[in-house]
Structure 1
């Protein structure tokens, strides 16, 4: 897939992809970094949390065709060999069972917690933090 096509896919997601992206907002803001249209070896995946080694595919109606199913099966063998767990959901799963899809993603992340991205960076203190004149010396106790 060319860079231009990848940009186009990111800019024009399907309805199910938009719904999925919105549904995982709380995960994305709590330390799980998800990306869209990610290149992994010779494949592009719909969504990936690289730190957790989790790939999520949202399959449209074309995924029921024999050749596409064969391609999906090949990809699903390739990715686990490289440490990725693959979750597949149909468009209908995402659109009609949003909570169930979210719960499945959370369950998968829980099993991969050891690979979780570091906590979000600490926020600056309201007092400003940093060193003041005469402060920040070694051995000081606050």
Structure 2
């Protein structure tokens, strides 16, 4: 995907975020999570990551129901592998985890951010 196309898609994804993404972003934005800076819907390599803490090289992905099929799980695994190759750790949560257990999700994110 060309850079301009990725930027346009990232902008569209920010405008059309899911409820789970919106709730998580409310907790991550403006360095609210212990001062760590996150950006959302950010192009990285051939992908657009949901949330990225560049300082700690951490990507947080929020997956919807479509990510439960075998094909999507395989695609997610390949994506994670490629992002790992770029030096990023990737952690994934599904929408239900974010919507019904946000405190636990934030705790797990913090555990990944701390040395």
- Short-chain TM bin: 0.7 to 0.9
CA distance in 1 between counterparts of 2:26 and 2:107 reads 14
Other-structure match for 2:104:
100
Match for residue 86 of structure 2 among 76, 82, 85: 82
Gaps (5+ residues) in structure 2?
none
Using structure 2 for the length normalisation, give the TM-score.
0.87
CA distance in 2, matches of 1:31, 1:103: 14
Contact 1:45/1:56 (8 A) holds in 2: yes
RMSD value over aligned CA atoms?
1.7
Residue equivalent to 1:32: 36
Work out whether residues 29 and 39 of structure 2, in 8 Å CA contact, stay in contact via their aligned partners in 1.
no
Aligned counterpart, 2:76? 72
Aligned in 2, Cα 1:100/1:74: closer, same or farther, shift over 3 Å?
A: same
1:27-66 equivalences under 5 Å are: 27-28=31-32, 30-66=34-70
| Alpha-carbon distance change, 29 to 105 in structure 1, aligned in 2, over 3 angstroms | closer
3-state SS of 1:24 partner: helix
Task: Choose between structure 1 and 2: higher strand proportion.
Answer: 2
> How many aligned residue pairs are there?
111
In structure 2, C-alpha distance between the alignment counterparts of 1:106 and 1:73, rounded to whole Å: 23
Contact 2:10 2:43 in 1 (8 A): no
Query: Residue 86 of structure 1: SS of its match in structure 2?
Result: strand
Kindly report which structure 2 residues correspond to 1:113-128, keeping only aligned pairs within 5 A, or say none.
Answer: none
Instruction: Kindly indicate which of the two structures has a greater share of residues assigned to helix.
Output: 2
Structure 1 or 2, whichever has the larger Rg, is: 1
